[in-house]
A = this chain, B = another copy of it.
Amino acid sequence: MRQRINQIKKELHAQGYKLTPQREATLTVLLEREEDHLSAEEVFLLVKEKAPEIGLATVYRTLDLLTELGIVDKINFGDGVARYDLRKEGIDHFHHHLVCMECGSVEEIIEDLLVDVEKIVEEKWQFRVKDHRLTFHGVCKNCQEAALKSRKKVKID
């Protein structure tokens, strides 16, 4: 984690920015909650626990900056808030998401399933692909099993 922050510190310096305590606290939160998909407000509340004097605007600014530098990705799952997602280490594409319509859980697919599709898009549509967003909406494994169980239960009753 220290290592990861240092790496980012370098990237910031390379672009003429500094790693202020506020930025470091924000990064720490993002790293600690890497599995989650936090909104700016949620990041703010978590950062406040470490650095109570921080302002919401600073969090927004930091998240913007990190997005600019490609350290985090901004994504919107359809509930009017932007969520921020740290890029996986050593992975250069934005990973995919599985959003469960029943329980709201968000699962991640790290491996790139779009390599072939992108090739087609580049060739057939003459579009130079730089980035992608792929989200599947459906029913997660848990909820499928739950539905199965409750259906059985109804049959017994």
A-to-B contact residues, CB < 8 Å: 74, 76, 78, 80, 82, 98, 101, 107, 109, 113-114, 116-118, 120-121, 125-141, 144
| This protein's copies in its complex | 2
Task: Give the shortest distance, in Å, between A36 (CB) and chain B (any CB).
Answer: 19
Give complex CA distance A138, B101 in Å: 29
Give complex CA distance A107, B126 in Å: 11
Residue in B74, B78, B126, B135 whose CB lies within 8 Å of A132: B135
Are B113 and A120 in contact (CB-based, < 8 A)? yes
Give complex CA distance A135, B94 in Å: 12
Besides A98-B121, A109-B125, A134-B134, 20 more A-B contacts (Cβ < 8 Å) are A76-B78, A80-B82, A98-B127, A118-B136, A125-B141, A126-B144, A127-B138, A127-B139, A127-B140, A127-B141, A128-B138, A128-B139, A129-B138, A130-B137, A130-B138, A131-B136, A132-B135, A132-B137, A133-B134, A133-B137
